[in-house]
Amino acid sequence: MKSGTLLLTRNDIRAVLDIEECIQAVEHAFALHGNGETLPPVLAGIHVHGGGFHIKAGILEARKVFAAKLNANFPGNPARRGLPTIQGVIILCDAGNGYPLAVMDSTEITLQRTGAATAVAARLLSKESSRTAIICGCGLQGRIQLRSILKVRRLEHAYVSDIDFQSADVLAQEFSGTLSVEPIPWQDISTNAKRCDICITCTPSEKYYLTRDAVSPGTFIGAIGADNESKQELDPRLFASCKVVVDILEQSATMGDFHHALEANIVSKSDVYAELGEIVAGKKPGRSNESEIIIFDSTGMALQDVAAAAVVYEKALRANRGTFLNLNS
Whether residues 59 and 127 share a domain: the answer is no
How many residues in total does the chain contain?
A: 329
- The domain that holds 264 is classified in CATH as 3.40.50.720
Q: Give backbone dihedrals phi and psi of 43, rounded to 5 degrees, phi first.
A: -135, 135
User: Are 297 and 247 contacting, i.e. CB atoms less than 8 angstroms apart?
Assistant: yes
Strand order of the β-sheet with 100-105 is 42-48, 51-60, 65-73, 86-94, 100-105, 5-8, 323-325
Q: Are residues 106 and 180 in the same domain?
A: no
Q: Are 66 and 127 members of one domain?
A: no
Q: Are 315 and 288 in the same domain?
A: no
- Looking at residue 191, its pLDDT comes to 79
What residues act catalytically? 69
Host domain of residue 70: 5-110+303-325
Q: What is the pLDDT at residue 85?
A: 86
Residues 278 and 162 in one domain: yes
Helices (H), 45-125: 77-81, 107-125
CB 22 within 8 A of CB 306: no
- Exposed, middle or buried: residue 81 (CB in 10 Å: 0-12, 13-18, 19+)? exposed
- The model's pTM is 0.94
Q: Are residues 149 and 222 in the same domain?
A: yes
Q: What DSSP line would sit under 127-146, residue for residue?
A: -TT--EEEEE--SHHHHHHH
Per-residue pLDDT of the chain (329 residues; tens, 9 = 90+): 568 999 999 999 999 999 999 999 999 999 999 999 999 999 998 989 998 999 999 999 988 999 999 999 898 898 899 998 889 999 999 999 999 999 999 999 999 999 999 999 999 999 999 999 999 999 999 999 999 999 999 999 999 999 999 999 999 999 999 999 999 998 888 777 899 999 999 998 999 999 999 999 999 999 999 988 889 999 999 999 899 999 999 999 999 999 999 999 999 999 999 999 999 999 999 999 999 999 999 999 999 999 999 999 999 999 999 999 999 88
Total domain count, the chain = 2
Q: 120 and 79: one domain?
A: no
- Whether 65 and 122 share a structural domain: no
Both 186 and 141 in one domain: the answer is yes
What is the number of other CB atoms lying within 10 angstroms of the CB of residue 241? 12
Residues 20 and 54 in one domain: yes
Residue 94 sits in a domain of what CATH number?
3.30.1780.10
The SS3 of residue 314 is: helix
